[in-house]
């Protein structure tokens, strides 16, 4: 491809985005870099700074905002989350694909900034509300008030799935990861065909041309 593919993975909190991205990261067939978001949220048990997130203080985050270092940033359930801009743009310019795991509000901003066939936006859905609540509670990391806040926000976020290229329901991580890889392969094949002047599938739609 002439430039890298921006792969956006988004969906409600607790749907399994992070686990899916870890699965993709271990898959050697996907030639992509993985952007690590920055957050002021406290580090959870078993999380490693620089792996799941770059964990920073409120004042450090504010300095990055001041210096315009973020592609996008949002406040979510009392904490700030941001996507470092330079790392993403540098990789795309070098022709390297990059995976962004970001929340729904952030994804909406990025999709507007990067329209066209070189951006693939995938929305991850829970099987149902009950399963989503079970997954959030299984973390054992938050008080009841935060859990209810996340659940209420998730109900509203699901309405945004229509803005994405593809929506995948995450019943099991292994099956969803395989489907996600196929979705990515399909977009890469489409882009290659367009760049080389070959016919493309008539039913393949780019939502943000």
Q: Report how far residue 104's alpha carbon sits from residue 89's, in angstroms, rounded to the nearest whole number.
A: 20
Nearest residue to 55 (alpha-carbon basis) of 44, 67, 71, 66? 44
| Per-residue confidence (pLDDT) for residue 183, from 0 to 100 | 95
| Per-residue confidence (pLDDT) for residue 150, from 0 to 100 | 86
Pairing mode, if any, of strands 70-76 and 79-84?
antiparallel
What are the tokens at 49? Answer: 């700074």
- Segment 24-48, tens digit of pLDDT: 888 877 888 999 999 999 998 889 9
Specify the pTM: 0.87
pLDDT at residue 203 tops 90: no
Res. 208 pLDDT band, cuts 50 70 90: confident
Q: What is the mean pLDDT of residues 109-135?
A: 93
Res. 69 pLDDT band, cuts 50 70 90: very high
| Per-residue confidence (pLDDT) for residue 59, from 0 to 100 | 97
Q: Tell me the HSE value of 20 on the side-chain side, using a 13 A CA sphere.
A: 32
Query: How confident is the prediction for the chain on average, in pLDDT?
Result: 91
Res. 126 pLDDT band, cuts 50 70 90: very high
What are the tokens at 57? Answer: 């203080």
Q: Report how far residue 203's alpha carbon sits from residue 192's, in angstroms, rounded to the nearest whole number.
A: 17
Portion of the chain with pLDDT greater than 70, in percent: 100
Q: What is the mean pLDDT of residues 87-95?
A: 91
pLDDT at residue 108 tops 90: yes
Q: Report how far residue 96's alpha carbon sits from residue 184's, in angstroms, rounded to the nearest whole number.
A: 14
pLDDT at residue 23 tops 80: yes
Q: What is the mean pLDDT of residues 167-188?
A: 94
């Amino acid at each position: 491809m002439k430039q890298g593919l921006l792969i956006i993975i988004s969906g409600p909190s607790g749907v399994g985005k992070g686990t899916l991205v870890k699965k993709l990261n271990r898959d050697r067939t996907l030639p992509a870099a993985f952007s690590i978001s920055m957050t002021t949220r406290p580090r959870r048990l078993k999380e490693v700074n620089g792996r799941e997130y770059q964990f920073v203080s409120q004042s450090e985050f504010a300095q990055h905002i001041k210096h315009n270092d973020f592609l996008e940033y949002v406040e979510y359930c009392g904490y700030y989350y941001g996507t470092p801009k330079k790392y993403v743009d540098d990789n795309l310019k070098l022709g390297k694909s990059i995976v962004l795991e970001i929340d729904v509000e952030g994804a909406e901003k990025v999709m507007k900034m990067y329209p066209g066939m070189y951006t693939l936006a995938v929305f991850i859905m829970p099987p149902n509300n009950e399963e989503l609540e079970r997954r959030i509670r299984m973390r054992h990391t938050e008080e009841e008030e935060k859990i209810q806040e996340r659940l209420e926000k998730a109900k509203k976020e699901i309405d945004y799935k229509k803005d994405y290229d593809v929506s995948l329901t995450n019943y099991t991580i292994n099956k969803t990861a395989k489907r996600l890889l196929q979705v990515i392969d399909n977009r890469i094949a489409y882009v290659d065909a367009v760049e080389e002047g070959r016919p493309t599938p008539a039913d393949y739609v780019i939502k943000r041309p």
